[in-house]
Copies of this chain bind each other. A is one copy, B any other.
Amino acid sequence: MKMGTDPNLQFAVEGLHARYAHALDADRLEEWPQFFSENGRYRIATAENEERGLPLPVLSAEGRGMMRDRIQSLRHANIYEPQRYRHIVSSILIEGIDRHTVRSVASFLVVRVMQDGQTLLFASGRYLDRIALAPEPLYAERVVVCDSRRFDTLLAIPL
């Protein structure tokens, strides 16, 4: 516990998280891969599996190409009815820094707003991130650890 957080670094991380959340919530899913570095990794897991060391992600993608594919099939498969998401992100903490990357953790809560207007708690959990700083802040790895073991099997959009 120390007071020496670098404001620019903290804001770089917070800004990346904020842009990511707004892109998803505005259904600009095609931008999603661009928040990752070229070989960036994305994974959704449950807290339970993470604690047991079970390498069973609910979903994973490696590299922007695979992410683009995922978004494309999402769009074409047309599996999801119109709905909105709202990400709330807080308690963003930088846990480690080396020359090129930052490790950070943050809490999230996502609500889902259905077509008929109903608002539901959809997911909560932690983001565990490794962020490459140059030339601009991008996720080298984003692990989404959901608190709940229960998932909507469609799990349409990235968290």
**Could you say how many copies of this chain the assembly holds?**
3
Contact between chains at B133 and A124 (CB < 8 Å): no
- Taking a contact as CB atoms closer than 8 A, the residue among B17, B105, B124 that contacts A111 in the complex is B124
Nearest CB on B from A25, distance (A)? 7
Q: How many residues of A contact B (CB 8 A)?
A: 51
Cβ-defined contact, A124 with B93, below 8 A: no
Query: Considering the chains assembled together, what is the distance between the CA atoms of A3 and B9 in angstroms?
Result: 8
Q: Is A157 an interface residue (CB 8 A)?
A: no
In the complex, the answer to whether A93 meets B19 with C-beta atoms within 8 Å is yes
Q: Enumerate chain B residues within 8 angstroms of A3, measured Cβ to Cβ.
A: 8, 11-12, 15, 133, 136-137
Closest to A1 in B: B136
Closest chain B residue to A136, Cβ basis:
B1
Interface residues of A in 10-26 (CB under 8 A from B): 10-12, 15-19, 21-22, 25
Residues from chain B with Cβ under 8 Å of A147 in the complex: 25, 84, 86, 111, 113, 119
The residues of B that contact A11 with a CB separation of less than 8 Å are: 3, 5, 7, 10
A66 at the interface (CB under 8 A from B): no
Quote the shortest CB–CB distance from A34 to chain B (angstroms): 9
In the assembled complex, 18 residue pairs joining A and B whose CB atoms fall closer than 8 Å, in A order, are A1-B138, A3-B8, A3-B12, A3-B137, A5-B11, A5-B12, A7-B8, A19-B93, A25-B126, A84-B147, A84-B148, A86-B124, A87-B90, A111-B124, A113-B147, A117-B148, A119-B121, A120-B121
